[in-house]
Amino acid sequence: MKTAILFVVMLLVLIIPHEWGHMTVARWCGVKIKEFSVGMGPLIFKKQKGDTQYSVRMLPLGGYCAMEGEEEAVDSPTSYSSKTNGQKAAILLAGVTMNVIIAVAAVTIALCLTGVADNSISSVVDGSPAQIAGLQAGDVIVAIDGNKTNSWEAVVEGISSYKEGSTLEVTYERDGKTGTASVVPEYSEENGSYMIGIAAGYTKNFWKCVKYGPVTTWELNKAMLEGFRSLFTGAVSADDVAGPVGLVKVVDSVASYGAAPYLMLLALVSLNLALFNVLPIPGLDGGKLFFILLKIISGGRINDDMEYKATLVGMAILLTLFVLITVNDVMNIFGK
């Protein structure tokens, strides 16, 4: 039951802001919103407010923001089809932008729970170069060879800059006093770099967590893109690709480790959703953006009817892909 609730909450956190982004920017551009729906399929609840029907539907696997003139041209100043290409692009990109914001927010909250590595020392390995040089747990490394180290990344970079046969002059603060230690790093074959035998301290300072939220999100994004590259090069099996059903299993595994891993998973899924949505596939936001570009390049030779037909094909492909991934998920869960 807990897993089901966490799964639905994750989907809602991904869906509602995405569609809200579309709706908000569309309204800024003067577009009439016919329906704002959370979920797909049979209607459970609806409420009319002004021109917009707010709906909750049975399947929490998506949602939509139905705009006037979105599927076909409507001769009205409040229709999507009457807006400029720039306004249309802004409306389409709003959903993806919200997914990126959700990812950054989730990562930042996770960092507030776990803390971020700073330039302090939490522990020193016995017999290590750091201990031999006199460094202790609790010391704050403020510079290496005269270069300021205001973060753990800077500390690692300073240690990595070591040249064989020299020493590192490590400036540290201890009990309000400044000291210097001459350290000779040792090369670690396992890690492929020089190390001095210290572990980072962690801080839950709110502003530092806010600062590192976008940075960590970008690193998560790079890891995700590398995963996609590995999928296409064959380094990762297609069996490792998960859809909504497979995500339930992942949520169950991750949630057992606490809130922070769950939030990091939410951020990763949100980034995946953002990337998937900007792909130039008819039926997706990226497909609509692609057709805006085609219409500009073709000088109007690509019309709305062509886009509509391409969208039908794209939706059929996406539905087929969804079914195949779901079957793969079920087979992975229950065994082939």
Per-residue confidence at 311, pLDDT binned at 50, 70, 90?
A: confident
**Most confident region among 185-189, 263-267, 301-305 by mean pLDDT:** 263-267
Per-residue confidence at 238, pLDDT binned at 50, 70, 90?
A: low
> Which of 265, 281, 253 has its CA nearest to residue 11?
265
pLDDT at residue 248 is higher than 80: no
**Residue that has been written with the tokens 């230690």 in this structure:** 181
**Which pLDDT score, from 0 to 100, does residue 30 have?**
95
**Which pLDDT score, from 0 to 100, does residue 245 have?**
62
**Which pLDDT score, from 0 to 100, does residue 315 have?**
79
Question: What's the pTM value of the predicted model, to 2 decimals?
Answer: 0.82
pLDDT at residue 73 is higher than 80: no
State the architecture of 116-203 in CATH terms: Roll (2.30)
Query: Taking each helix axis from N to C terminus, what angle separates 85-114 and 206-233, rounded to the nearest 10 degrees?
Result: 110
Rounded CA-CA distance 93/21 in Å is 8
Question: Where do the domains of the chain lie?
Answer: 2-114+217-334, 116-203
7 vs 31, residue with greater confidence: 31
Rounded CA-CA distance 49/28 in Å is 17
pLDDT one-digit tens code per residue, 281-300: 888 899 999 988 988 888 77
Residue 320 and residue 287 in contact, taking contact as beta carbons nearer than 8 Å: no
